[in-house]
Amino acid sequence: MKKKLFNLLFILGLVLLGSPMVLSCSDNDEPEQREEPTPEPDPTLPPNPTPIRWVENEVDGGERGVGIKVTSNTEHNFVFECTPGAKIQSYRLDVYPLCRMYNYLFESVGAGVQATEEEVEDLIMEAIYNSEGAGAYTFSRSTLGDSYSNAEFDWANSKYSQSEIVPGAEYLIITVGCNDEGGQNPADMKICYLKTPVQSVVGNPRVDIDVTASYHAVGIQYLPNTDCKYFYQFCGDSEPIDAFINTYGKPMYVDFMRHWIQRAEEAQVPEEDLYYLVDFGYTAEPTRMITATSIGLDENKTPGTYVRQDFHLKEIDPNAEKPECSLSVNRAGASMVDMNVEMKKNCVAMFYRIFSASDWAPYENADEATMTALAQALDQEGWGVKNTNFAQEGSFTGTQFQFDLAPNTSYVVAYVGRNEYGQLSEEVKHASFSTKERITDTPNTSEANIDITISDPGRTSLKLNYSYNQKTAVFYHQYIMTPDLLEDGNKAELINYLLSADSNVWPANATGGVEDFTWTGLDPGTEYTFAYMAEDWNGVLTDVKIVKATTEAIVAGPNPTMELHAYMSEMGNFTVQFSIVKDVAKVFHTILEDKYSASGDYTYQECMKVWKEHCLEYGLTTVNSITQSYDDTSEAKRLVALCVPIGADSDGNEVIGELYTVFYDKDKGIITDASVLFPDAPKSVKGMIGTSKPQVINRDRRIPANMIAKEEVKKNTPGAMMSGSTIYLDLKKLGKHPHAK
């Protein structure tokens, strides 16, 4: 671990003091007793520049406001009641960690400025009415029903909580009475203050920080001791961190660390899981101080030791060579282009993006600032190519492709290179090309050839085998759910469907080849018809071919078995495929908000019993495999998908199968193993699969530019650190809105 300069000077001071201490010993050689130096106290804070007018634990709302009364306050939750006044029609409500509200106010007012309570109230009202979706929640009779006149909020277990409630932290419950049903016409604002209780810390939880700084990024290894069970960390510019601490104090900054992410991180995990790559991008500046901080927590999440590490990024060699690379168009078809790329040994990676000619026109004679911004955009948002020979100081040649182009269109591909210091090429270079016209009416002249066969039919899956020649540029295929498309006279419509976004468009390997892919989530005992065609490099489509296969039928039996595939849809919704495996006559299924496991008050068996009864009584029913999606995923803290299959015994009597579950958690994502949530749950549960597969399967082999990390950081850090998370931070702020994440 790297030590602070202060620690080194302190140790040297003790060594220098050692000699005179020995000389001053008395005849009995007993050393003179000296008092240990006491730590310097934290500096006295100046007057609070953003005073907030609040009332502790209970506030009267009056006729035009909303009364607030805290009825329960524990280390990790609090419960409060809201009583709206007689003259309001609705109200806005939210809970804010005081630290985040102070940060929001401080950044809004500015350093060195003293605001009045009235000015602060205006700013808080702006936060509550924030138009970017981070404003307070609106409640009325239509949303709360009979409980409107005296609603109770169990905050940590509600879907409105924005972050974990932590011990010994300060919170503001803020309400605004409104004169209308929609919460748009505010009346009186009321603010209730509370502080959660805290136990004495167990042991000395501490997380040391090991920093490996580079030129635009830093690798941070967090090293918790054995007393530390959870921790929080934050890394950013020292200036705003110091300004916040000097204004509100170190304890309030510790609270900020505990609320800038939603939940504390596990500390007793493999070391590689505690490595973070913080990328400062083009805000990187070696003369600016950067600060990494951590706070360790015990098993009760009581905060322990605060650790701070200040550092600078490395200075770039003034004689560093700018990266050299080149790109040229090899061949272009109607919807695909092949490109040759070359990187010299001083180029770590190159990045490119293809523009239509009209989109490129503003850059044709653009000024230097515009082209610099374009270069940075290519580096962060384009497609990337990595120089795999860079470590051996070698150059690189290879090919790249893009297959989602429009026929008969002019394009420009713009590109830049990046060296080991994160510097980009001197200029953005570009190459022009045009795609060919697509020809659909002469399939016999197409040089492409493709065949698809189907094998290994399962109850819910089919394996497709693809074989094509090297003249094939792209191929299109999809199963046809509308039989009318296959009728005579509808070929043009069928071709348009295969060319659309609802079909699968896959680039072919340049040398031709054989591929296979297993389609899942299909219905049992069902015939599927796949239509497919290919396109050659001249833009000529082959004729449409058809291949059919039938999934295996399922007969009801005594062991009804399911398989659940869970994934996030393209709309960001929790989606589950309930797939029949065997012995199933019908299925009960549903997705609902999980209020049981999140509370921690129920065992695994208790939850399973209640959920199974609920699914059988209120769940949807089907005789086939089915996909269900939860539309309000973003508003839910935790969801659970439930499924109970029904089979039959040899006499035809109904057999109720086991309950299948798969979870979605706002912080942990898709959870297929219930033991993650329930300590008493079985460790291995079959039949649940979490996946990110969309309905239209993308076989894109290109690499997004932001997936190519800055090599100089990884090269200088232990191999165990290389799988860590990458964090991109706005270093100018600690988070503008009090609910900003």
Q: What is the 3-state secondary structure (H, E, C) of 200-224?
A: CCCCCCCEEEEEEECCCEEEEEEEE
| 593 Cβ contact list (under 8 Å, min separation 6) | 159, 636, 637, 638, 639, 640
DSSP helix/strand/coil, 317: coil
Query: Could you tell me what percentage of the chain is helix, strand and coil, using 3-state DSSP and rounding each to the nearest 5?
Result: 20, 35, 45
Closest CA to 77 of 184, 12, 167: 167
**Residue 715 phi, psi (nearest 5):** -65, -30
Burial (Cβ within 10 Å: 0-12, 13-18, ≥19) of residue 301: buried
For residue 440, the model assigns a pLDDT of: 95
DSSP state of 25: -
E strands, 298-395, in order: 303-311, 325-332, 337-343, 349-356, 383-386
Q: Rounded distance, CA 299 to CA 363, Å?
A: 57
**Residue 265 phi, psi (nearest 5):** -90, 145
Q: Rounded distance, CA 228 to CA 237, Å?
A: 26
**pTM score over 0.75:** no
Query: Which tokens hold the place of 210?
Result: 């090991």
Q: Rounded distance, CA 603 to CA 118, Å?
A: 49
Instruction: Say if residues 361 and 313 touch (Cβ distance below 8 Å).
Output: no
Query: Which tokens hold the place of 134?
Result: 């981070």
DSSP helix/strand/coil, 452: strand
Closest CA to 563 of 398, 397, 687, 423: 687
- Give me the residue label for tokens 């200075």: 315
For residue 7, the model assigns a pLDDT of: 33
Closest CA to 294 of 236, 350, 252, 234: 234
Please, which contacts does 362-367 make with residues 24 or more away whose CB atoms are closer than 8 Å?
Answer: 363/414, 363/428
Instruction: Say if residues 327 and 432 touch (Cβ distance below 8 Å).
Output: no
Please state, as a whole number, how many other Cβ atoms lie within 10 Å of the Cβ of residue 732. 12
Query: Which tokens hold the place of 213?
Result: 């700084």
Query: Which tokens hold the place of 591?
Result: 């997705």
Tell me how far apart the 2 most distant CA atoms of the chain are, in Å: 116
The segments of the chain whose pLDDT lies below 50 read: 1-34, 36-37, 684-685, 689-695, 711-733, 741
Query: Which tokens hold the place of 556?
Result: 């009801």
CA 125 to chain centre: 29
- Give me the residue label for tokens 């806005």: 92
Amino acid 320 reads A
Instruction: Say if residues 96 and 174 touch (Cβ distance below 8 Å).
Output: yes
**378-392: b (≥16 Cβ within 10 Å) or e:** bbbebbbbbbeebee
CA distances from 553 to 42, 348, 524 (A): 74, 54, 5
DSSP helix/strand/coil, 292: strand
